[in-house]
Structure 1
Amino acid sequence: MATEERPDLLTVSDVCVDYTSGRRKQAFRALKGVSLEIGAGECLGLVGESGSGKSTLGKAILGLAPVASGTITFDGKDITHAKGAERRALASSIQVVFQDPYGSLDPQLTIGEILAEPLTAAGTRRGAARSAVGEMLERVGLPGSVVDRYPSEFSGGQRQRIAIARALVRKPRLIVCDEPVSALDLTTQAAILDLFISLQRDTGVSYLFVSHDLGVVRRICHRVVVMYHGEIVESGDGEAVTRDPQHPYSRRLLMASPVADPSRQAERRVAWLRLKDQAA
């Protein structure tokens, strides 16, 4: 997707996150001075392997990981250490879609109850909440009649549509998408990615799209940031970074992305092994 100038909605400046473990409370630095910006209406891809720190950054933005140093600014306001009522108020502007569509929905609640809960918690009357829920379900490609059904009655792709509807129902300005298609089959992945693109076009919402797959982010992201061991090693236009990456780690990620052609896949496998040997 082409890059264009957009006013910054979220700014992450030199953020470090530490985790402690063991009896001696030894600290592990998961993020090492990370800085990035997300513009209004922009989709920024955050790519890296497991353990690279990409999900930790998403958690820091959501207030789920403690920031040791640096700042996170949303719409000009410092939210680095927002707690309590201030953090709850941010829920109307910042939402999340998790990786697992099976574990992210309460199995004991109906779809209508799941989607209405964030609205009623914010003070919306039940009638208005029901109307908003029906409208949002239709927007994500599900009939309003599913409100009385339970999550167990739906496929993985349908559940992820429900999770997206829940994230959008309060009309946020930013959604952190934490590996939202990695648990889905390829056909369903494509449909959900198309849905994300359509919803962004219609609503103007911004995405931080976390993924390990350069092929996925190429399809949806305006810009891409590559993380390795808690640091940003490459960033730039989505098309450029995902098709012709410059950093050796980014090139290894590209070689690891599957392609449909067996011959090309074999060539990629050889190239990936060569890059891996060079990095060792």
Structure 2
Amino acid sequence: MNTLPQPAPLLTAENVVVDYGTRRGSFRALKEVSIEVGAGECVGLVGESGSGKSTLGKAILGLVPVTSGTIRFDGEEITHLKGAKRRALASSIQVVFQDPYGSLNPAMTIGDILAEPLATAGTSRRDARTTVADMLDRVKLPSTVIDRYPKEFSGGQRQRIAIARALVRRPRLIVCDEPVSALDLTTQATIIDLFIELQRDTGVSYLFVSHDLGVVRRICHRVAVMYRGEIVETGDGEQVTRDPEHPYSKRLLMASPVADPAGQAARRAAWLKLREQAA
């Protein structure tokens, strides 16, 4: 029986190595990491602090130099793009950072923050204002916020603004670097729902970086688990976040909080046992 060819991944990272210079010499943050993100797909990248997950996101964004390996976007190699070519890629690849306040210029109004990427791309003032109003509506903020400043908003509202800024040039991929970890649990849930809705409506792809398996379970189609600069497990989002195979993935699962006190106590005991076995 003939089978239809599978579409090529939107993003492909192959054997990516990143080294950081330190006072003691070179430190290898990524050790031949490979990952793919398909069109319209959300791939979770999970691990503790220092695992290398944010470094991979920065390598894709061109924010850290790649020692070896290749990164391709829509079939074109972007590993070492610089200058005008890297800036042009901003129309296709955007980012949402962890700290929504730190990523927004406090001296600019919300309207100016959202219009700035459009002005850089040559969009007219009139068309930019129309696009900004549409993006604010998409992230469920009223158009009246356009003349206000970031300090006037809550953390959740600021993250909605950051998401709107990432979407304003209609990218095909957004790198989400711990985008809900600085928010309280209730706000986390509403922002995750917003990410899901926006992906459904726009078809944008996400590389969703997080330390919390519970968070990525809700949003990610596939999940890759990182440990000490390497991907140790990858697979279906539901399977990896509920019944992982690798011992490190299991420790991450046990470290995720649950609402039931008895269940939380049992989970912590299991986590301590796994940690002792790994020591």
Under TM normalisation by the shorter chain, which class is it? Answer: over 0.9
Question: Residue 180 of structure 2 aligns to a residue in which SS?
Answer: coil
Question: Residue 266 of structure 2 aligns to a residue in which SS?
Answer: helix
Question: Residue 252 of structure 1 aligns to a residue in which SS?
Answer: helix
Gaps of 5+ in 1: none
1:132-147 alignment, distance < 5 Å: 132-147=131-146
Question: Residue 181 of structure 1 aligns to a residue in which SS?
Answer: coil
Question: Residue 209 of structure 2 aligns to a residue in which SS?
Answer: strand
Runs of 4+ deviating beyond 4 Å: none
The offset of 1:202, in angstroms, is 0.3
Within the alignment, does 1:47 sit opposite 2:33 as a pair?
A: no
Question: Within 2, Cα distance between the matches of 1:131 and 1:233?
Answer: 45
Within the alignment, does 1:270 sit opposite 2:265 as a pair?
A: no
What letter corresponds to residue 201 of structure 1 in structure 2?
Answer: R
What letter corresponds to residue 18 of structure 1 in structure 2?
Answer: D
Question: Within 1, Cα distance between the matches of 2:50 and 2:195?
Answer: 25
The answer (yes or no) to whether the contact 1:6–1:41 under 8 Å persists in 2 is no
1:1-280 alignment, distance < 5 Å: 7-22=8-23, 26-280=25-279
What letter corresponds to residue 157 of structure 1 in structure 2?
Answer: G
RMSD: 0.8
Question: Within 1, Cα distance between the matches of 2:193 and 2:64?
Answer: 30
The TM-score with structure 1 as length reference comes to: 0.97
Question: Within 2, Cα distance between the matches of 1:198 and 1:67?
Answer: 33
The offset of 1:261, in angstroms, is 0.1
2:3 paired residue number: none
Gaps of 5+ in 2: 1-5
Question: Residue 30 of structure 1 aligns to a residue in which SS?
Answer: strand
Work out the percentage of aligned pairs sharing the same amino acid.
78
Question: Within 2, Cα distance between the matches of 1:197 and 1:240?
Answer: 19
Question: Within 1, Cα distance between the matches of 2:107 and 2:147?
Answer: 12
Distance 1:71 1:250, change over 3 A: same
Question: Within 1, Cα distance between the matches of 2:74 and 2:144?
Answer: 37
Question: Within 2, Cα distance between the matches of 1:90 and 1:210?
Answer: 20
Residues 202-254 of structure 1: CA deviation (Å, up to 9, x unaligned): 00000000000000000000000000000000000000000000000000000
Question: Within 1, Cα distance between the matches of 2:170 and 2:78?
Answer: 19
The TM-score with structure 2 as length reference comes to: 0.97
What letter corresponds to residue 240 of structure 2 in structure 1?
Answer: V
Question: Within 2, Cα distance between the matches of 1:130 and 1:274?
Answer: 56
The offset of 1:7, in angstroms, is 3.8
Question: Within 1, Cα distance between the matches of 2:229 and 2:96?
Answer: 22
The offset of 1:21, in angstroms, is 1.3
What letter corresponds to residue 12 of structure 1 in structure 2?
Answer: A
The offset of 1:102, in angstroms, is 1.5
What letter corresponds to residue 161 of structure 1 in structure 2?
Answer: R
What letter corresponds to residue 13 of structure 1 in structure 2?
Answer: E
Question: Residue 140 of structure 2 aligns to a residue in which SS?
Answer: coil
What letter corresponds to residue 210 of structure 1 in structure 2?
Answer: V
* Number of residue-to-residue matches in the alignment: 274
Residues 29-85 of structure 1: CA deviation (Å, up to 9, x unaligned): 000000010000000000000000000000000000110000000000000000001
Question: Residue 141 of structure 1 aligns to a residue in which SS?
Answer: coil
Question: Residue 159 of structure 1 aligns to a residue in which SS?
Answer: helix
Question: Within 2, Cα distance between the matches of 1:250 and 1:21?
Answer: 29
